[in-house]
Chain A
């Protein structure tokens, strides 16, 4: 029983981690607190529904196409909208992302084949069960964990060894210095948005069999906030661990305590972290610039 809860919690946590990672990536690079991250995840779910469900692409191909489409959307959001509010007060930028989320939800309700009713698309793992270490394990959950783990490794390699990855780090650490060595900071920021949106897209496709696909599914994305705060708000490994912790917290409190605790637990954890250790588990303290 505990093992099953553990796997469920980790699988759910992996999805939160992916959303939170994209969120923290964007925050670190551009300073934007992106309230539309959950709605971008929702967009990923719908792209998956389109490629795999409506167009009948093979799962893997459909998956990749949907993630790419989400990434392109992220790129465009920055290019067409958010780039133009950089330097405005923080609150105004937050409100722009909230507005963007509202618009995305409306669009999802209008596009033919999408709509406001919950839908689902078939995956190769539906109802299949593997036996791992003598325990029955739902393939769906296992895939979520494996894909997330794989992505983490890729992400690490990307930031460590590729030119673009290193440029992203440079641009987020010091804009002026990055510009001086020939990095186009706005261009790199758009790529960060593409990356962050792509990760939310992966989360959206992975979570679709569990939550189904509908315009309001993006509310799940709000759980990226407790995950990110738990991890220290500016730390990528922190966001990953924070997401897993939130997933476990939700599943275990829902099972052993009650429904309302399940809903409130991630936010109680958030408040507890803010009061006790605002720098989060990984100790990255943001300094306010004067």
Chain B
């Protein structure tokens, strides 16, 4: 068997494994995906909203927080204006909440500064363009156990309009669903900035957010895990966020995520396959590393096959043209199915089963529109990911990380 065939089979095996793995977790916990028992006694909660040039959305975010059903006497809202050049500060002030104004130094530093003055026993972090549902805080707080360092929410897209936003909405649904599945294994590896709640003492114990990392929400999670804190996920606590609506902005956001992921993986490389670091060493860092390898291998295989065929067929077309022969036979394309065709079909079928249960579970109905967006997501959107990763590796390697 050729080397490429072996790599190809390995790639399919690993992809198939993870699809089956997630489906098995789902079947075991399908009845308790959204379960949460609200605590009668609630702790004090400080809501930190770091903002940079968010004048158009900041009031909506503050309003959503103030409209929550969390007891007002236990709730503190603190907006951190990270040196905005627009009217973010004024807009936040108009809402009657505390606003900390500072020079621009990044989100992680803004949060660290706010952490020093926040009075709550727990800290909720919300992006200034995200809108939590009214019962989110209560549900998330109720999910904390003694060992829990952080609980994250179900991040969804707010009113998606164009195709790019709709594809991101599809992605966010899949991500939240998969994150909940990982929660059953105690393997949540990120607490997204859109809405996550942290135990203040845990944040203080680990020294707060890493100001050097481009995705402080991934880094803080790994740091908590390394320090033996557990991370939870509450699927019924929803927060709606505004995704990038232009391709350029979207690409930049994903580059930042990938670079942050790489930074985190390298920072915690010492935990790889080390059982003493708990889930971080035995599952999360290897899983993270493997998904990078899978992504790049997939792109490598696809590019090799595609370019090889493209080169061959274009050379053939040129040769036929030169020799005045216009009969371009289908025979040259070799459309006879082979074993890989069946494996791809199997993988695609398992993916469809996965999508079906995810949609059913998240109460999303299948219709023509959804199907079209789903197909675009699976065929176009996912295919972009390895290219973003390569771009991110390039940027990370050459140190050009200005945002």
- Please indicate whether A and B come from the same complex rather than being unrelated chains: no
